[in-house]
Structure 1
């Protein structure tokens, strides 16, 4: 069984119950519970304290509100420094209301730690790779959602003041909790021309009357709120008013094109901190961002005029399609084609600017309600909320006196009613998304030496042909990085001694004697730049013509694929390599 398939089987086959019971953790965390910022901070520090052999924690910056952006590094130092390994960056909750994203990241840290030394494939994965986790990319928005009256959709952004209504004052007219129950619900008023009526079968709902029917007698006024600034409008200038996931320097567009983009890319301290961290960690080869609703595995491009190299698209599609098998009712999607256009998005930045294979997962889908892959009808949704959630997501309609409208009705669904995974369904969603992310991590480039052929072609003149192979889906250098010269190209070094020297070098297509050397044009033939890297599940043959005797040392360095080295004795020899995928030199024994 190949390694990518083995980790898929090991994690995908693990049920929610099985995830916890056999492998105890040193830290008791619950995944039927939402952690606010303070609780999440404590949970992260508890994990670091109990797993010091794997975890470190640091703040990579502060939010607009002064909250720390806590980042966890997960690495086994016994197998190398985290910066010397191929790494994955995983974040969540860049939108404040998308809370289960943070729990999914927390679950990932927790599960990896308790499985290290217990589950062989996870142990091997941690030994080979390093991971960077940022559970809460928008702590201010999360805190508003938890501790202030909110809706399923608010607060999406952060708390930096924005003058949304352009009256010279910021954030002065947001939603108001009219009845003080801690929820922002809907306001309804009796209106003889209103097109809604109270549902006679279920008075918790208003139903729109048909166009040919008489008026229903009710109109919706919007969400709870007053006209706090006396401009004739309600709730038009609440907290914030921007989108942190439109603030990245990749196809960024100004506000009149992309709502929420703010003044310029990285103008928000949260996005700047993440961007600077990634720029400082060029070993990151994979990124995963967790959002909260839709059941999607999103990849770029995010705009129709953007073009991605075909080879990179094939890699993204292969990983996303596997995710579609692991995550019931999720759909792999190309953002602009299957959803909508996004300018200045995070995964656009990580892939288009840094050459990192990146995905955004939208975690909850209503298709999970009945497990049948179908979007529930209104009646089915109501039954789910009644019988499985015990009506906990409703505020019954009741009268309130409004200073402008007089007697109105207030009520409806709470902030937990949609978008957020029901707590008792949370852990399975965390585990399946974690398993998909580990599959993605396991497909990061992993370079190996392949076949070796050393031939004497004259007195003290040697032809050394060496294969560098990558059995993983993700190349050591993406096509985007190669095309736009992002980061550093791969390099193969041949270190000689006083007894030998490299005369020329390059690549060849085969080891046949007639194979032509595609020599590099360089004053230093002992150093071969490999701009395209080692491709997806493939290999490259390199050749050095060496004059002399003794040993030479070969070192292949890839910014996102790690470093491998070996010493070669200048003598007649041939070493085939057992392979799993097509390589430049096939093994004649297969």
Structure 2
């Protein structure tokens, strides 16, 4: 009798359907816990790969279901093509309203080809939730603070990049075809996937007039011939066809807008800066993020994940915006940036306009300039990660990419050159790096870099304002009056109001209230030792404090018509949280 074989996955599915439990490869009892890693996570996720929109949605749903007291999933709107924009609120819901705690905002994947930001953001949710029970630091952090995390704010372009032919540098938006050559047609001459492998690579052909030769160290690579050396190859650009019959190839590619030029701070139109769309916040995804941030004034810190280059960026994006960052704010940024360089090897703390170029209408500048939020943009995947060393740019860095692909990826990131009979160019060869390299992390580097970047955002969240009421003193005065003096301290480096916030009065002042009903005067003390203070004549029971500085304090004083006043004090700060204490 002929034996019949069934796929293992099918057998496992049938057994599960019938109620039969299949064995796991390892049980928790068989695993020796590695430091800093969840031992037995409720949600198992492989962090050495990338997930499309459906995969991200499933992980979000699983985390919210497995940790209902820590993770809440909701949508903030829909993308251009109708995909839900997911946001995960991560906090210990049992210790108070997340909206009343200082908050950290994180997003990723604003650009189509900058995919790993979504995994880095999701890893943060997973790590916080899965470590809450066993890690005292994480538990205390979520008791005191809130995270708002949007894994991808450009899900349409993400799925386009993953599921359709693209290269590592494909248009950032992933849609919006344009007529770049003015012939009245769009997309008629854009790169074509000639060998149908899902990657847009390069075309080359042998030619005695070419200016390239094969690299003797790596025949997959072309290098420029020396001036006195004959070339053997010419590069023809990305693989593609002359679809409109004008004798040109790939001259009318898909146009794009840049979602990171759409934000309403120092916005410039397309003819000044390439990539801007119709007007600020003309993109539905960015509008949804903007509206969410406006509804959550407790956001005091932010991180947006991009790629690549290994950079820890902060504003200003343009030289004209230097006045939005003063000495006090710069000091906070510098302290955080120095920490980031320590925990993320190979990454460099930089200022956009000073160290790169001027950029207008960026998310980074809107968060800081319009909302007064301390914000970083990390450009993920540093070349340093390839061989744990810094290299010069240009030819040396390109050579390292080929060496890394050969020595550690075993050429898995490269489409081997193969012949193709091109209708315009004749016999050519098609090949080159796949779309998942070198901007995207190889799998074995993905989790480590996700963890290091996550650690930086956790540290930034830890340094959000942490308020404490201390040194409450009373002194008897004449005529039945009592003087009450309190010190309100901020035990972290980030103030309750950035200098930009204070300059434009973006957020309301902090409130410090004494609950006694017989208050006759209230003062914000300028120098308590010299008894110098500024009286607040209206509503003296709730004093308005412009700012509680990082690693600093303010003193307040009330005069109360009572021998034994009610010493219940409340501090209510939008970005510093709410603290109530009875003395």
Equivalent position SS for 1:205: strand
Q: Residue 294 of structure 2: which of 268, 279, 288 is its match?
A: 279
Partner of 1:247: 262
Q: Residue 412 of structure 1: which of 426, 429, 432 is its match?
A: 432
Post-superposition shift, 1:156?
Answer: 1.9
Partner of 1:328: 345
Q: Residue 483 of structure 1: which of 498, 503, 508 is its match?
A: 503
Matched, 1:529 2:544: yes
In terms of mean alpha carbon deviation, does 231-240 or 67-76 score higher?
231-240
Runs of 4 or more off by more than 6 Å in structure 1? none
Equivalent position SS for 1:317: helix
Q: Residue 371 of structure 1: which of 383, 388, 401 is its match?
A: 388
Q: Residue 184 of structure 1: which of 200, 221, 241 is its match?
A: 200
2:343, 2:198 → 1: CA distance? 38
Q: Summarize deviations over 1:364-417 as a string: whole Å, max 9, x none.
A: 111111123445655544332112101111222222222222222221211123
Partner of 1:12: none
Partner of 2:376: 359
Q: For the aligned residues, what is the CA RMSD? A: 2.1
Confirm or deny: 8 A CA contact 1:16 1:427 kept in the other structure: no
Matched, 1:209 2:229: no
Matched, 1:193 2:209: yes
Equivalent position SS for 1:18: coil
Post-superposition shift, 1:89?
Answer: 0.9
Post-superposition shift, 1:450?
Answer: 2.0
Matched, 1:426 2:474: no
Post-superposition shift, 1:250?
Answer: 1.2
Q: Residue 71 of structure 2: which of 55, 70, 77 is its match?
A: 55
Confirm or deny: 8 A CA contact 1:503 1:547 kept in the other structure: no
Residues 170, 546 of structure 1: alpha-carbon distance in 2 compared, 3 angstrom cutoff: farther
Confirm or deny: 8 A CA contact 2:519 2:540 kept in the other structure: no
2:180, 2:211 → 1: CA distance? 30
Can you give the 5+ residue segments of structure 1 that lack an aligned partner in the other structure?
Answer: 1-14, 569-590
Q: Summarize deviations over 1:86-141 as a string: whole Å, max 9, x none.
A: 11111111111111111111111111111011100000101111111111111111
In terms of mean alpha carbon deviation, does 264-273 or 213-222 score higher?
213-222
Post-superposition shift, 1:550?
Answer: 3.9
Q: Summarize deviations over 1:537-573 as a string: whole Å, max 9, x none.
A: 00011122233344244322111111122345xxxxx
Q: Summarize deviations over 1:36-59 as a string: whole Å, max 9, x none.
A: 111111111111111122111112
Partner of 2:465: 445
Confirm or deny: 8 A CA contact 2:218 2:402 kept in the other structure: no
Partner of 1:387: 407
1:559, 1:231 → 2: CA distance? 61
Q: Summarize deviations over 1:164-209 as a string: whole Å, max 9, x none.
A: 4444444443210112222111112344433222334433122211
Matched, 1:153 2:169: yes
Equivalent position SS for 1:144: helix
1:491, 1:172 → 2: CA distance? 61
Using structure 2 for the length normalisation, give the TM-score.
0.89
Equivalent position SS for 2:256: coil
Q: What number of residue pairs does the alignment pair up?
A: 546
In terms of mean alpha carbon deviation, does 197-206 or 388-397 score higher?
197-206
Confirm or deny: 8 A CA contact 1:193 1:217 kept in the other structure: yes
Equivalent position SS for 2:94: helix
Equivalent position SS for 2:519: strand
In terms of mean alpha carbon deviation, does 432-441 or 55-64 score higher?
55-64
Equivalent position SS for 2:250: coil
2:477, 2:565 → 1: CA distance? 17
